[in-house]
Chains A and B, each alone.
Chain A
Amino acid sequence: MSLLQEEREIILSNEYVDNFDFAEVEEFVKNASKDLFISHHFKNQKKMLVQPRGGFPTYEKQYALYEFFVKSDVDVLPLTIDSNTRLNDYATAKKMLRLSEENEIDMLNGYPLVSHGYRTTRKMITHFNKPVSLRHGTPDARLLIETAIASGIFEIEGGPITYLLPYSKNFPLDKAFLYWKYVERVCANYSKLNEPINRESFGPLTATLVPPCITIVIQLLEMLLSLEEGVKSFSVSFAQTGSMNQDIVTGAVLRKTAAYYAKEIDCEDAVINLVYHQWMGAFPQNKDFAEQLISMSTIIASMVGADKIITKTREEASGIPTKEANAKTVANTQYTLRILNGLPNVVDEEEEEILTQEVHDIMSAVFNDSADTLWRKVFNCIKNGIIDVPFSPHIINQNEMITVRDKNKNIRIIKRGNVPISDKCYKYEKSKCDLTKDTTSIVNDIIHDIGIMQW
């Protein structure tokens, strides 16, 4: 028996798992409908796929949510996992699920997949016969991913960096890399049986003034860590920055550099797709304004040429959205996409050149780290600030980089910290900003720049 299989048996003999039947699950994946695989839809797609967000504790509510989504012409269904399951606290998740079922009050902020189990969940997934994307935020997702694939969920979001740095203060990063290596291997193995399982990275990170070069580098590194384990379908992603031009430039550079680095490790046979997140920062309280913002995000996603868009709702500022609001967004977004025709092709060569240079500068520094494997190189580079994510709560993050918006609302680096972008690029970034201001007014600018969409 392989080491991986031994580890799988340990993970799946968890007391909260009801008798995991390896052979039956393999048979299920082998014969599963192609429609369940987003990789299959990407291959044959004629339009941008629309995917909302959403997860409810009980089977009945999740089922009702999916019914609403299907009526609004959804392309990809989400399954958002509750916070207890994300932190591997299956006992609390189980208890809260029971309370939610008995009292008809939602005691969880998502669907506790491990507590429901794959036999139950699979019934729902195969009934709707749409691709489902797993949204979570889990550093140790080994049991969750096994349960997801056994349920018919063939897109797995996340990664060791993007699910750790924005969400955790002190979960050990080295452990996250090893737990995600397991996830990549399991996805790669199942990918041999039918259409490939898609892995997707979470590009928005902290969604707070993250400069495009940092977003892209982290997307590329999670992509490489996944491809080197044998994954054949991977989605890189990013969120609306606040500047349409910067979004278009980011999308173009992300696409080009992803193809370049996949080829560098001889993985050009893998299919790479681009995913765009509608505005992930603070939303306006005014729900009509929120709808305008969402429509604008959809237009930008079209300009970027995204393969999939992940939507927000008009209720974003006021809490977990209702299924009605969620379904409305899907229908509106599909409508916007239908009427958006004859888009111009915008290319900003100077900005693309600078951003590409920054990405290569940081990537070279990562590859030049003296560690023996890619994940250790990346680990070292996060630790020493070569990769620095603004506003990450994690203790390992350096927090030396400072970013602000320029007059066109592009995110610019005014203090690079240890991030090794070349002097030419650094000078260019700073030349776009007013550097004569004192720190107090810069802090006030940052507060305004974060809340840019609220007024």
Chain B
Amino acid sequence: MKVVTGVVGNDIHVVANRLIDLSLQARGYEVFNLGVNTYLEEFFDAVIETNADVLLISSLNGEAEGWGREVKILKSTYGKQLDNVIFMIGGNLVVGTGDSDDIIPRFKNYGFDLVFHQVDLTTGLDALEDYLKGELK
């Protein structure tokens, strides 16, 4: 199973990014880590180039919303190439305090299959595994 990951936008917070990379590898995924300060186009191009199954975007500086809302529009310019890819986003997704009950549906509407706001890494990756099992059935 191949995963492309990285931190979206102008966000240099690298610590969680390294830990996501390590944890995914430990769970047996093949990881393509684009690192910090990554734009949506770079993520999408990397998914196609590596033929990845999962795109795991993370964000810490609260600016994810501005990038997240562009996902559907940009995805449509790629035709059907990204249709079977699982879109996942996690981290601290809004500026200031926000309620997960509002945030999760909003980001799902942007085109994400899995959304995690201020959820610890293990819980998030366990949920990804459950989701993948469900997909296979």
Contact = CB atoms under 8 A, between A and B. Distances in A.
Interface size class of A (residues with CB under 8 A): 20 to 34
B122 interface: yes
A270 B12 CA distance: 37
A399 B23 contact: no
Interface of A: 167, 169, 206, 208, 390-393, 395, 399, 402, 438-440, 442-444, 446-447, 450
Given A393-B36, A395-B35, A399-B18, A440 B12 contact: no
B15 to A, nearest CB: 5
Contact of B35 (A169, A208, A402): A169
14 contacts: A169-B36, A208-B15, A391-B14, A391-B15, A391-B18, A392-B14, A393-B12, A393-B35, A402-B22, A439-B26, A443-B19, A443-B22, A443-B23, A443-B121
B14 A393 contact: yes
Contact of A169 (B23, B27, B37): B37
Describe A's contact surface by its main secondary structure: loop
Interface of B: 12, 14-15, 18-19, 22-23, 25-27, 35-37, 121-122
Contacts, number: 40
Contacts of B15: 208, 391, 450
Contacts of B18: 390-391, 399
Contacts of B12: 167, 169, 393
A442 B35 CA distance: 21
Given A391-B18, A446-B19, A440 B26 contact: yes
A379 B112 CA distance: 40
A356 B4 CA distance: 40
Contacts of A391: 14-15, 18
Contact of A440 (B14, B35, B122): B122
A307 to B, nearest CB: 31
A292 B37 CA distance: 35
A378 B25 CA distance: 30
Nearest to A208: B15
Nearest to B121: A443
